[in-house]
Amino acid sequence: MLQHNLASIRYSDYHIFAGCYPNDDLTQEAVRSIALRFSSVHMAVCPHDGPTSKGDCLNWIYQSLLLYEEDTKERFDLILTHDAEDMIHPDELRWISYYAGRYDFIQTPVLPIATPIWKWTHGIYCDEFAENHTVDMVVRALSGGFVPSAGVGTGYSRDAMDELARSAANRIFEPDSLTEDYENGLRLHRLGAKQAFVPISSSGHGARDFVVTRELFPQTWSTALRQRTRWVTGIALQGWQRFGWTLRPTEFYWFWRDRKGLLGNPLSLLANLTFLYGLATSLWARFTPAQSYLAAATLVIQLVRTVARMGCTGRVYGFWFSLGVPLRMAYGNVLNSAATAQAVGRYFAARVKGQPLKWMKTEHSYPSRAALLSHRRKIGEILVASGYLTEPALQQAVSTCPAGTRIGEHLVATGRLSAEDLYEALSLQHGLPRAQLDARRIPTRVVQSLPREVLREFKILPFQVSEGALHLAAPEFPSSKLQAALRTFTALELKFHLMPPTEFDRIFHTVL
């Protein structure tokens, strides 16, 4: 995810501070390997083992940022929070930088990655976020209500972060809160910060390429129930306990909107059951005129509500996906009712026992490589952003590039770029490591793990087996045909590394 976002973001002046725990060696190793290649990536290690809460981890990441500022005498103007599984839109930092001229707190839209219509649980998230971040959050910001953070895609001005620190003894993110992101939006609103929600807008690079954060949400009943239980507990119950109710219009109405699920979720399930009962008995039961009018009125209201959600979902995910909204709404009512019942039970059990509420981490899924590649920048953009070329030199090369020749090959052939620099940029673009091999240290048994005919046909070279994975060097990005062919010869996970063609050919012929 670090490699992907570094390759996709269209912004030059930023740093990434990635939080790790001391007892998570694999995550530390992953961050450290990227930090060695990119000076803008920094590992922030919490002083105690994890997992703890997201708020606790974020606080220690911020302390790491402050130490970096002390060492380098630099100062960051904006702080942006993201989860590890987020696909950051290439233009997001530009938008937040633009809004930061007028606002202290900027929330950008969040949308689930599109999944097939039969993934019902994830589809509920698609519907809810499409409606919430198309309509509800926009109206909330325009009406002067407090804008809660979504936890990702949230930009804070440095003044806002300093104000949060001063107001809460340096606990910028409340460690004991189950929804510290939601609370920060409210806290900054009460501190007088100017808040903005960036409306969903097209990037201009495709019909549905919106400037939003994309991620995979829970796709099973159990993982979704766990996340929604935390949301209901943190926002409706813990938020009520910590912040109470106020009569201020900019808070009271939105408190009601955020907390009404405590009654609304079970009642929505009851309404669905009542509808099914009425439908089943309508063949033989007789209804009074008053009952008929009431049923017709509530049905019209429900239809308006459903059509509104279908419109929001259709805008983002397409017409055919929106047709599943009515069924997903009924399924969502069951899921939300179960989450509400579990949240109330856990909350009052903790209160009776005098115990703190326990953080419940959501088990997120990570996007597939196909989804990641949809956001990658062109190789020319990466070369310019990385300082290998100037913009005028790139444009000149594009204008003289022969038809059918890739721009990178043309730059190398004309001497404007070295093959090593090109492959460093390609490595970043595809999210694949750059292989640097010594032919004398490649074990013969590893090379022989695949037939020689396959190695020659697809121009690949196995060079290492570790942790259940077969590492292969290649001068080209691996195609789906290649990966499918290799799976017939090995059950090991395939990990590809890129090499310049001349370097690959030299080692390939030496080994074989």
For residues 286 and 295, the answer to whether their CB atoms sit within 8 Å is no
pLDDT at 239: 93
Q: At a CB cut-off of 8 Å and minimum separation 6, what does 52 contact?
A: 21, 46, 175, 359
d(CA 290, CA 311): 32
d(CA 245, CA 241): 9
> What angle, 0 to 180 degrees and rounded to 10, lies between the N-to-C axes of helices 158-167 and 180-190?
90
**Amino acid (one-letter) located at 105:** F
d(CA 325, CA 317): 11
For residues 481 and 455, the answer to whether their CB atoms sit within 8 Å is no
Dihedral sign of CA atoms 277, 279, 285, 286 in order: positive
Least Cα distance to 426 among 443, 440, 414, 408 occurs for: 408
For residues 149 and 107, the answer to whether their CB atoms sit within 8 Å is yes
Q: Which CATH superfamily is domain 433-512 in?
A: Type II secretion system, protein E, N-terminal domain (3.30.300.160)
d(CA 489, CA 162): 57
Tokens 């949240």 locate to: 343
Question: Tens-of-pLDDT digits for all 512 residues of the chain?
Answer: 888 888 888 888 999 999 999 999 999 999 998 898 888 999 999 988 988 889 999 999 999 999 999 999 999 999 999 999 999 998 999 999 999 999 999 999 999 999 999 999 999 999 999 999 999 999 999 999 999 999 999 999 999 999 998 888 788 999 889 999 999 999 999 999 999 999 998 877 666 789 999 999 999 999 999 999 999 999 999 999 999 998 888 899 999 999 999 999 999 999 999 888 888 887 777 788 888 888 889 889 999 999 999 999 999 999 999 999 999 999 999 999 999 999 999 999 998 888 888 877 766 666 655 565 566 678 888 888 777 888 888 899 899 999 889 998 899 889 888 888 888 888 877 778 888 899 889 999 999 999 999 899 999 999 999 878 899 999 988 887 888 888 888 888 888 899 999 999 999 999 88
Q: At a CB cut-off of 8 Å and minimum separation 6, what does 265 contact?
A: 232, 333, 336, 337, 339, 340
For residues 470 and 494, the answer to whether their CB atoms sit within 8 Å is yes
pLDDT at 128: 96
Task: Return the number of other C-beta atoms located less than 10 Å from residue 420's C-beta.
Answer: 14
What is the SS3 assignment for 273-303?
A: HHHHHHHHHCCCCCCCHHHHHHHHHHHHHHH
For residues 127 and 181, the answer to whether their CB atoms sit within 8 Å is no
For residues 138 and 199, the answer to whether their CB atoms sit within 8 Å is yes
d(CA 448, CA 455): 10
pLDDT at 279: 82
HSE value, Cβ hemisphere, 13 Å, CA-based, for 165: 14
d(CA 43, CA 108): 25
d(CA 334, CA 340): 10
Least Cα distance to 95 among 111, 82, 83, 78 occurs for: 78
Q: Which CATH superfamily is domain 2-265+341-370 in?
A: Spore Coat Polysaccharide Biosynthesis Protein SpsA; Chain A (3.90.550.10)
For residues 473 and 460, the answer to whether their CB atoms sit within 8 Å is yes
DSSP secondary structure letter of residue 125: H
For residues 17 and 64, the answer to whether their CB atoms sit within 8 Å is yes
Least Cα distance to 6 among 424, 359, 410 occurs for: 424
Number of H helices, E strands in the chain: 24, 11
User: Where in the chain are the domains?
Assistant: 2-265+341-370, 377-431, 433-512
d(CA 235, CA 227): 12
404 three-state secondary structure: coil
Which tokens go with 81? 């929070």
pLDDT at 27: 92
Which tokens go with 192? 């007088």
Query: What burial class does residue 352 get, using C-beta atoms within 10 Å of its C-beta: 0-12 exposed, 13-18 middle, 19+ buried?
Result: exposed
d(CA 326, CA 306): 7
Q: At a CB cut-off of 8 Å and minimum separation 6, what does 472 contact?
A: 460, 461, 462, 463, 478, 486, 494, 495, 496, 497
Q: At a CB cut-off of 8 Å and minimum separation 6, what does 123 contact?
A: 115, 117, 321, 324, 328
Least Cα distance to 145 among 95, 188, 108, 181 occurs for: 188
d(CA 140, CA 198): 12
Dihedral sign of CA atoms 476, 478, 484, 489 in order: positive
